[in-house]
Structure 1
Amino acid sequence: MNRRPCRSLLDAPWLTPVIYMGLLLALFFAPSHVADFFGASNQGPHLSTALPLARDALPVTVYIRAAATRYGVPEKLVTAVIAVESEFNPRAVSRRGATGLMQLMPATAASFGVRDRLDAPQNIDGGVRHLRALMDRFADNLPLVLAAYNAGERPVAVYGGIPPYPETRQFVVRVLHRLGDRRAVETVLAHSAQRGRRGQGRRAPLVTTSSHETGALPADTRDAPGRPIRPNVRATSQHVAGAQTGIATGKPIGESKALLPAPAPPGVSSGAVGPEGRIVIQAP
């Protein structure tokens, strides 16, 4: 036989497929090490650390979208409220006892059927239902909806607008800022500064404005399917009720029981009804 002996194992023809198979197995089972070898580790997080973050964030997004779709509330609005209220911490608890992602108080949670406020799906469902109820109550006037979410409906009705509570105004401004409603933010901040210069104390509400100033929901937030975000408000007794109470109640006069606002601050007319029945701030 004239066969020439192999000089080394690498000369063996049967060894080539084995080498290729070994390389494929190494690539499949050690992606992070291969990424380190090629310098990809400097371009972003490892796959092993990114996957747990995605698993943690996914449910909250899913719950927000489901509840927003179910109740006809803009998903961006729900996300902004959660970001400001709890910074997406499902176990956040305030000094006053507000709990969970949307910071539900015990009474609010009970009224919307939330048994466990620390349970993310229940908390989001109850919070979005609360927002929907406030949107109906205040005719989608977003600053009033946010003020009532933070301070309660009664202070908004009593003051005839955003109550002069620093915490409430800060909450409204932060949510509006996240939604990109710069004009509404400027209106709230300007009124707060004006109140401070005039020394009006805590009895100066920010009267709800027309949709051309702080308006209702911004156009880019009206993305929830289902019921329309802004109902067609007819020129009926609802407008008169809004002029009398300082807010658009969405109810006829007979159903709007009577929480009259404090006197309007100088330079603000509480009886000027703008487009869609909202009260317009008039410059002094």
Structure 2
Amino acid sequence: MSSRVLVGVKRVIDYAVKIRVKPDRSGVVTDGVKHSMNPFCEIAVEEAVKLREKKLIKEVVVVSCGPQQVMETIRTALAMGADRGIHVEVTGKEYETLGPLQVSKIMAALAKKEEAKLVILGKQAIDDDCNQTGQMTAALLDWPQGTFASEVTIDGDKIKIVREIDGGLETIQINMPAVVTADLRLNTPRYATLPNIMKAKKKKIANVKPADLGVDLTSRIETVSVDDPPQRLAGVKVETVDDLVAKLKEAGNI
């Protein structure tokens, strides 16, 4: 039995919120805006809890990087059934520039420290849509990876993964320890029940700083500006095919 699975959970602006760009175009408005757990991270937590319920793993440890507010995201994961949490404290400017590479370094360091046999992450976050953290974590650990998983089956030290690819589905088998990233159809995350929310308050959350893990958070990327997508221009209605062809010619499209 593989002993421990590490799951990354990210606090993001809630998917139902309309995003607003800051007047100085340095980023998006986050103050006073509803946040929640990244939906793909919810799927990752659900999968880890299911594996523990099947007695394929012993312990589910959730990790979130950020300021004090990410504790709420960790508590949500604990209420879903995770065993304990790790809050990696990142604040101020470092949090603003925290990207997939920095998070991957943290996840890789914690995977070694916790002696995890499996790291499960959401395939991407809905705020930056990077889809890089899982792949970078696997590279830093030199572990095999199964990305975009829609089905995960553990048999001893091997994992069979059905992956969602452009052309359909691909089935691969990799050895543990490994990194898996969760796609949309992997499962439907459970809702945290009130008794489990109460139980989650008693579960342990360790606090660590990136320096404790020997991780340098210096960013190699500079955001030049953030802009709203351009407004779509109004369309034109035409009566006949001939009118359509004439309009297309006029616009230089044919």
TM over 0.5, shorter chain: no
Rg (Cα) greater in structure: 1
Give the TM-score taking structure 2 as reference length: 0.25
More helix by share: 1
